[in-house]
Amino acid sequence: MENHRGKVFFITGASSGIGKRIALALAGSGATLLLAARNEKSLTEVANQIRAQGGEAFIYPVDLSRKEEVEKMSRLIQSRFGRVDLLINNAGFGVFDPVVRGDPEDWEKMMTVNYLASVRLIRAFLPQMLSQREGHIINVASIAGKLGSPFFAGYNASKFAIVGFSESLYIELLGTGVNVTTICPGPIDTPFFKDGEMERVLGKRGAKFLLPPEKVVRAILKAIEKKPREVILPRYMKLVIHMKNLFPKAFSFLSARLFPKG
């Protein structure tokens, strides 16, 4: 990592999984790390590990599904630090059921956490980034924001939303000094899925293609330095997305045959 001393990095979903790994990887970057998640105890443990490595970390326990909590947290950060140089919107969750059995309240919460919370944080910190003509927004989306899958309808909708928002924002901010990067990984080998859920929605074949979390973290660390428009993992998924765009009907037929039926 480059030396980012004097910078302020804000990471959501930092208490576990990819968010935690990113935070720990940035401990030696010199930046002040702001960590947000619901679990205060886990956040404290991550912050203590960062401090043990000589880094500086502050925690913000927050329920990102609650607009008032997000807005309050944003105001606290602005009043204390006056800036956020890197915003990593990483928090997210998924509920995976057929549409006929799914709960619309789950879909609404996924849309709120996976999409709207990121938008609210971007709206909070973007004006300051624009005023200093420098900043970086990383939205951790998913391959599910590029490809539809059975049982993923609610999750797909939230990830398609953040991918589309990110694409528009990237174009809008060209030439301003503020960069936007969208990270689209496939399923990652973390406790994201509940016990037994992975094979239920991905099948045994799909469960074999889980990405090592370290690979995703390395890609995000590289993106912090290089500021690409988009990162797709694994790389061969670029070809899959291209084929889907060229032959959508054939892709849907093949997906229906490959994924589990119930």
Q: How far apart are CA 183 and CA 212, in angstroms?
A: 15
Instruction: Please give the order of strands across the beta sheet that includes 8-12.
Output: 56-61, 32-37, 8-12, 86-89, 135-140, 178-185, 230-233
Q: Which of 60, 155, 170, 236 is catalytic?
A: 155
Q: Is 155 a catalytic residue?
A: yes
The answer to whether the beta carbons of residues 63 and 69 sit under 8 Å apart is: yes
Identify the CA nearest to 29 among candidates 208, 237, 224, 261.
224
Identify the CA nearest to 150 among candidates 256, 44, 242.
256
Angstrom CA distances, 129 to 84, 155, 179, stand at: 7, 30, 10
Q: What are the structure tokens assigned to 97, written together?
A: 């059921």
Give Dmax (Cα) for the chain.
54
Q: How far apart are CA 57 and CA 104, in angstroms?
A: 37
Q: How far apart are CA 178 and CA 197, in angstroms?
A: 39
- For residue 5, is it left (φ>0), alpha (ψ between -120 and 50) or beta? beta
Catalytic machinery residues: 155
